Structure 1
Amino acid sequence: MVRGVYIHIPFCHQICNYCDFNKFFFQNQPVDEYIEALGQEMVLWADDLKNASVETIFIGGGTPTSLSVKQLERLLALIHTHIPMDSLVEFTSEANPDELTLEKMQLMRKFGVNRLSMGVQTFDQELLQVLGRTHSNDHVYKVIEYAKQTNFPSISIDLMYGLPNQTMDQWKASLKEAFRLNIPHISAYSLLVEPKTIFYNLLSKGKLTLPGEDLEAEMYSYLMDEMKRNGYAQYEISNFAYKGIESKHNLLYWDNDEYIGLGAGAHGYVNSVRYSNHGPLKKYMHTIEVDEKPIMMQKEVSQVEKMEEEMFLGLRKNEGVSLARFEQRYGQALQGVYGKEIDELLEKELVSIENNFIKLTKRGRFVGNEVFQYFLTS
């Protein structure tokens, strides 16, 4: 059963140097028309939404806060019109710190948004410029003040490490500032240089200097230690939170549960089918105009593939994969399916089995992708 809804807003006032998500420079784009198309796409999913128990909604991008107050209000009104809210427990919007005004935050609270996910990335102004970010630390401080004024229940920030020419001291300083601000949820990711990004082009020309693997591993180790020391529980490879503040929407992904993805380039997983929408705006909007779901590709997930996904998604969580839940879902004991692989990983001390869960060891978190490969057999 569908438990969540993801809504993609693909517009940005500034294209970041590392971003490979489906996005478009805001100026001269059919933003109002796109929002109406999103509403129509919700109508096309009406039967599935009617039978869903929607616990989480996540508005991502792009940059949802690139919308004007009027546009944001229209989007939120459409969500309330077409998506059942009876079971909703978490309603998140991504945000750029320099685009969040008090008025926008008041509007979000009016419509039930109870969690902000801010792309801070670093508190070092020079590194922000390297990333192509337009905000300053003062913007972050202002948003935190607005959050107090509007009684925003939860704020999360994204931080990045392994950035071009980033030093260990810079990484330590960013974490120290995040702790000082008492942010209840922090996601911290190592930089991945993806194709079709400015960083990728620079790297291919030899014009991008990245920290080596050893320094990046040192940064990750320091991250885990300092998070624990400052009262944050690590509940996933890259995510840390005060108790009870974990991202329920992201846990839905890692629990391998179903969700509807709406918007240009969005992905979804419904009735054992994984799908992705058309990315180009014209194609996305034209398909909706003729009353068709704007699905570009879809694939029914086989039983073997579901078990693989259960493993490599579930192992991202600190608690790991439940042996009981695996058997209940797939009718087979986990060790009966992956006994050889698990034995080898146990021998290498990359996983452990505790309290009927298989999970990554601390050592295993450093080589998570290597561990996940053991379960990709199809």
Structure 2
Amino acid sequence: MRGIYIHIPFCHQICHYCDFNKVFFENQPVDEYIESIDKELKTLKQKGTDFTKVETVFFGGGTPTALNARQLDRLLEIVHSHIDVSSLTEFTTEANPDELTNDKLSVLKNGQINRLSLGVQSFDEELLKKIGRSHSPMQAIEVVNNARKAGFDNISIDLIYALPGQTQSQWEATLDQALALELPHYSGYSLIVEPKTVFYNLMKKGRLPLPGEDAETSMFSELIDRMESSGRHQYEISNFAKVGKESIHNMIYWENDEYAGIGAGAHGYLNGVRYANIAPLKRYMEHVETLELPRIEENTVTLQERMEEEMFLGLRKTEGVSLEHFAQKFGVSLDEKYGNVISNLIRKDLIEQHGNRIRLTRTGIFRGNEAFQQFLG
């Protein structure tokens, strides 16, 4: 197990595009939930999970910074009680710009958090309101400055493009402002309208004016070109970083390595089993009281599934999949297993062989799903 993901499902405001497991903060058993995280970690250790080789811890949500400073401090205390935090390569929390106060920054710094991932999404005031964000562009800029003053130098921001009504010029203005902050890492995602979201309901009613496919492609192309020209290399389809500032925790996912998912609705991959935790808050908390793991779904990954995952996750990385590593891991050559698929994708200019690796071409980066599907049985 290389990483631990801890899910904090509380939000002060629900974004219109979000389909993650979350609840409004008010009148929720927040303190009790934090203690449930402690119980799940204890149970996982008691059942034999080795925490000594953990490289990364990641607080996600929901919104971890919806917690107040005291609650964040308690959460960090729990993590320290189970893991030698000083040995971690990366310790990240997601954060909302309007919630990351100086008091919370101090708590996070003292708790040895060394990476911040800020949910900025856009620097356009009207677009932020349209997507249900509660912060302003100025708050996003201020929180970056305050984080730097507090001693954080590994800061990432998330951006979303192809938003309802968004124009190319609005996207370019957001990129201008984002890059002006001179951050080491940026993530840029195309809007995906998921079921059970405000945007999904609007789309079903014909009231969600999304940019077309050509506009989305143009925005993605602008993102890639601007990041590369600013010295942030594209190391994964949606992620850009200065060399050495790549997200190690997310690389665990793309390298198809194992990690624990802790908390209500969290997903994990341990001992060859992919699992999902119980999502409803109170049911999750009741279950961890029994000292059993709060699993609602488990799937033992077959050898065939592992090879498929190795390909469609590994090809998300711009360095692609190593022929040598694949053969060592699965006891069969990549050519023997997927030679026909690879030849076909090379003919379509979706992938290429570069030295000892198979990777997406520039065209393939834009049509990744088409390439990934060819590896699925």
**What TM-score range do you get, normalising by the shorter chain?**
over 0.9
1:49–1:84 Cα contact (<8 Å) kept? no
2:305: which partner in 1? 305
1:3, 1:34 → 2: CA distance?
24
1:12: which partner in 2? 11
Does the residue aligned with 1:358 lie in a helix, a strand or coil? strand
1:168: which partner in 2? 168
1:23: which partner in 2? 22
2:330, 2:151 → 1: CA distance?
43
Does the residue aligned with 1:250 lie in a helix, a strand or coil? helix
TM-score, length basis structure 2: 0.98
Aligned length: 376
Q: What is the Cα deviation at residue 86 of structure 1?
A: 5.3
* 1:318 partner amino acid: T
Q: How does 1:137-176 map to 2 (within 5 A)?
A: 137-176=137-176
1:50–1:84 Cα contact (<8 Å) kept? no
Q: What is the Cα deviation at residue 146 of structure 1?
A: 1.5
1:30, 1:51 → 2: CA distance?
28
* Runs of 4+ deviating beyond 2 Å: 47-52, 83-87
1:42–1:83 Cα contact (<8 Å) kept? no
Does the residue aligned with 1:34 lie in a helix, a strand or coil? helix
1:85, 1:180 → 2: CA distance?
32
1:104: which partner in 2? 104
Structure 2 spans left out of the alignment, 5+ residues: none
1:360: which partner in 2? 360
2:32: which partner in 1? 33
Q: Deviations over 1:38-63 (max 9, x none)?
A: 00000011144435410000000000
State the Cα RMSD in Å.
0.9
1:145, 1:214 → 2: CA distance?
36
User: Which moved further from structure 2: 101-110 or 5-14?
Assistant: 101-110
Identity of aligned residues (%): 56
2:277–2:296 Cα contact (<8 Å) kept? yes
2:369: which partner in 1? 369
Q: Deviations over 1:326-347 (max 9, x none)?
A: 0010000011100110010011
2:281: which partner in 1? 281
* 2:150 partner amino acid: T
2:207, 2:107 → 1: CA distance?
43
Q: Deviations over 1:66-120 (max 9, x none)?
A: 0011111000000000123353110000000000011111111111100000000
* 2:62 aligned with 1:68: no
1:198: which partner in 2? 198
2:296: which partner in 1? 296
1:18, 1:137 → 2: CA distance?
19
1:339: which partner in 2? 339
2:63, 2:265 → 1: CA distance?
14
2:184, 2:82 → 1: CA distance?
31
2:301, 2:199 → 1: CA distance?
34
1:264: which partner in 2? 264
1:275, 1:157 → 2: CA distance?
28
User: Which moved further from structure 2: 77-86 or 91-100?
Assistant: 77-86
1:77: which partner in 2? 77
Q: What is the Cα deviation at residue 243 of structure 1?
A: 1.0
Does the residue aligned with 1:376 lie in a helix, a strand or coil? coil
Residues 264 and 51 from structure 1, CA distance in 2 versus in 1: closer, same or farther, beyond 3 angstroms? Answer: closer
2:90–2:249 Cα contact (<8 Å) kept? yes
1:258, 1:353 → 2: CA distance?
27
Does the residue aligned with 1:187 lie in a helix, a strand or coil? strand
Does the residue aligned with 1:20 lie in a helix, a strand or coil? coil
2:52–2:83 Cα contact (<8 Å) kept? no
User: Which moved further from structure 2: 352-361 or 81-90?
Assistant: 81-90
1:13, 1:248 → 2: CA distance?
29
1:306, 1:102 → 2: CA distance?
44
Does the residue aligned with 1:98 lie in a helix, a strand or coil? coil
Q: Deviations over 1:342-371 (max 9, x none)?
A: 010011110001120100000001110110
* 1:31 partner amino acid: V
2:349–2:361 Cα contact (<8 Å) kept? yes
Does the residue aligned with 1:45 lie in a helix, a strand or coil? helix
